[in-house]
Homo-oligomer: A and B are copies of this chain.
């Protein structure tokens, strides 16, 4: 699968008094990229919830923090689908300074699960989404 890329600028809201991006905030950046990846395939999560009764929930994150990003840096966030099951998707994601892909801020695996928005239980992903997903086995 091609790697999806999404730009993120570091604002004060993202940093902490250590002078760098607060560790939990990289998870926000990664979710923005997953959301925009879905949108690039033609899927809006508010409509998916309304029309299909499904939402996505994160079930697992494993993340390594490597080189901290600083205030005002221009970053790029990647998302690459690496595993696809009936009710879950696993992504490899990283965040790095623009044009410094060899020196990532952090690198993660993120598994999201398709959830029935009423019962909060895993459910099969909508057919129309399955059809659009790249074949990752």
Residue among A18, A27, A72 facing the most chain B CB atoms (10 A cut-off):
A18
Given contacts A19-B17, A24-B13, contact A62 B65 (CB under 8 A): no
| A60 interface neighbour in B17, B18, B28, B64, Cβ under 8 Å | B64
Asked if residues B58 and A61 are in contact (CB atoms below 8 Å), the reply is: no
Contacts of A4 in B (CB 8 A): none
| A32 interface neighbour in B11, B17, B45, B59, Cβ under 8 Å | B11
Contacts of A135 in B (CB 8 A): none
In chain A, residues 1-55, which have Cβ atoms closer than 8 Å to a Cβ of chain B? Answer: 9, 11-13, 15-20, 22-25, 27-28, 31-32, 35, 44-46, 55
CB distance from A86 to the nearest CB of B (A): 19
Which residue from chain B places its CB closest to the CB of A23 in the assembled complex? B58
Chain A residues near B (Cβ < 8 Å): 9, 11-13, 15-20, 22-25, 27-28, 31-32, 35, 44-46, 55, 57-65, 68, 70-72, 117, 120
Q: Give 7 closest A-B pairs by Cβ, nearest first.
A: A15-B17, A24-B27, A46-B72, A24-B24, A62-B62, A12-B16, A17-B71
